[in-house]
């Protein structure tokens, strides 16, 4: 998607470039090269925001560089290149301005919240373990109690590998065939239930995921949680000794 739109931008801008400069003088070629650099940077920023990806400046350098080289080549073909230095200087200006515009635009992007787009003030940001986006600490964006962003909460984005049987078996053992989920009360034939390592009450995979690997009944936490979860402070009751005891009992 990103490379497709970059190719589109190169074709479009090369056409515009050629149309504007094929009979233009030195000043026009150089002036347009500057505009081209800024346009390329703005375009890539727009694409990244649309795709909701982390902003990367490399694309705009490539676009600005290739467009100015293509326009140069086209003018050389029709014989409207007047001197040997205007066009190389144009290429340098276009890529230089693209780089400069990226540098100016980038901090605003990487230091803003993925959800509310507000700038993030000194360190008050979190990386959501589910979507890996940078989220501000405002309660409208971050749900500390559930250690996830609002978007992941409303869209039920999962954290654990749902269908990786080895993953589940290694942490909670095989599927339980009787009983009902401690949390949502769905029964063994409806949901894939796994027993708690401490109280042995079963909980379904969805609920284990929803509770970030913590038993809804006894608050035991399953071993070897995804690293991403450790990076944020999951707002669980501070009972490290009980958790450790539970883990130890599980491993005998
Ligand atoms: Zn926010
Ligand atoms: Zn998220
Ligand atoms: Zn459940
Ligand atoms: Zn339990």
Residues 116 and 170 in one domain: no
Output the pLDDT for position 106: 63
pLDDT of residue 207: 97
My answer on whether 106 and 121 are in the same domain is: no
Among 139, 9, 114, 116, residue whose Cα is nearest residue 61: 9
**Interval between CA 112 and ligand 2 midpoint (Å):** 14
| In a shared domain, residues 17 and 106 | yes
Q: How buried is 200 (Cβ within 10 angstroms: 0-12 exposed, 13-18 middle, 19+ buried)?
A: middle
Which is nearest to 51 in space by CA: 141, 139, 133, 162? 133
Question: What ligand is nearest to the CA atom of residue 135?
Answer: 1
DSSP-derived pairing of the beta strands 193-195 and 148-149:
unpaired
Closest ligand, as measured to the CA of 181 = 3
Measure 128 CA to ligand 2 centroid, in angstroms: 5
Q: Are residues 45 and 72 in the same domain?
A: yes
Question: Would you give per-residue pLDDT tens digits along the chain (252 residues)?
Answer: 677 777 887 888 888 887 887 777 788 888 888 787 888 888 887 777 777 666 566 788 888 888 888 888 888 888 777 788 888 888 888 888 888 888 777 654 557 899 999 888 666 788 999 999 999 999 999 999 999 999 999 999 999 999 999 999 999 999 999 999 999 999 999 999 999 999 999 999 999 999 999 999 999 999 999 988 876 655 444 334 444 444 444 444
C-alpha 162 to ligand 4 mean position (Å): 20
Among 94, 124, 157, which residue terminates a domain?
A: 157
Shared domain for 22 and 96, answered yes or no, is yes
Could you tell me the residue range of the domain that residue 83 belongs to?
2-110
Count of CA atoms in the C-beta half-sphere (13 A) of 12:
10
Domain boundary among 75, 110, 145: 110
pLDDT of residue 164: 96
Does 76 share its domain with 60?
Answer: yes
What are the angstrom distances between the C-alpha of 247 and each of 43, 159, 191, 219, 244? 52, 21, 25, 12, 5
**185 Cα: distance to centroid of ligand 3 (angstroms):** 6
pLDDT value at residue 54: 60
Same domain, 97 and 32: yes
CA distance 147 to 234: 5
Q: Based on the domain organization, do 184 and 220 belong to the same domain?
A: yes
In terms of domains, do 143 and 177 share one? no
- Going from the Cα of 192 to the center of ligand 2, the distance in angstroms, rounded, reads 24
Could you tell me the distance, in angstroms and rounded to a whole number, from the CA of residue 169 to the centre of ligand 4? Answer: 16
What pLDDT is attached to residue 210? Answer: 96
Residue list, CB under 5 A from ion ligand 1: 113, 115-116, 136, 138, 141
Kindly list the protein residues that place their beta carbon closer than 5 angstroms to ligand 4, a single-atom ion: 196, 198-199, 215, 217-218, 220
Count structural domains, the chain.
Answer: 3
Domain boundary among 157, 177, 193: 157
């Amino acid at each position: 998607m990103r490379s497709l739109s970059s190719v589109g931008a190169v074709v479009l801008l090369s056409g515009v470039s050629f149309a504007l400069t094929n009979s233009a003088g030195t000043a026009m070629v150089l002036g347009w090269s500057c505009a081209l650099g800024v346009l390329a940077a703005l375009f890539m920023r727009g694409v990244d925001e649309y795709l909701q990806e982390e902003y990367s400046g490399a694309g705009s350098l490539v676009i600005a560089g290739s467009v100015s080289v293509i326009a140069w080549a086209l003018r050389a073909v029709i014989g409207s290149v007047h001197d040997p230095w205007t066009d190389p200087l144009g290429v340098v200006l276009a890529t230089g301005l693209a780089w400069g515009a990226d540098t100016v635009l980038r901090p605003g992007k990487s230091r803003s919240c993925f959800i509310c787009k507000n700038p993030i003030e000194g360190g008050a940001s979190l990386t959501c373990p589910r979507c890996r986006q940078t989220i501000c600490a405002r309660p409208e964006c971050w749900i500390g109690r559930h250690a996830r962003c609002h978007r992941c909460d409303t869209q039920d984005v999962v954290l654990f590998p749902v269908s990786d049987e080895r993953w589940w078996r290694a942490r909670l053992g095989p599927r339980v065939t009787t009983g009902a989920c401690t949390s949502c009360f769905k029964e063994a034939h409806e949901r894939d239930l796994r027993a708690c390592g401490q109280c042995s009450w079963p909980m379904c995979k969805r609920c284990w995921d929803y509770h970030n690997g913590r038993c809804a009944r006894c608050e035991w936490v399953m071993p070897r949680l995804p690293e991403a979860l450790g990076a944020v402070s999951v707002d669980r009751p501070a009972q490290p000794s009980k958790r450790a005891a539970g883990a130890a009992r599980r491993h005998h």
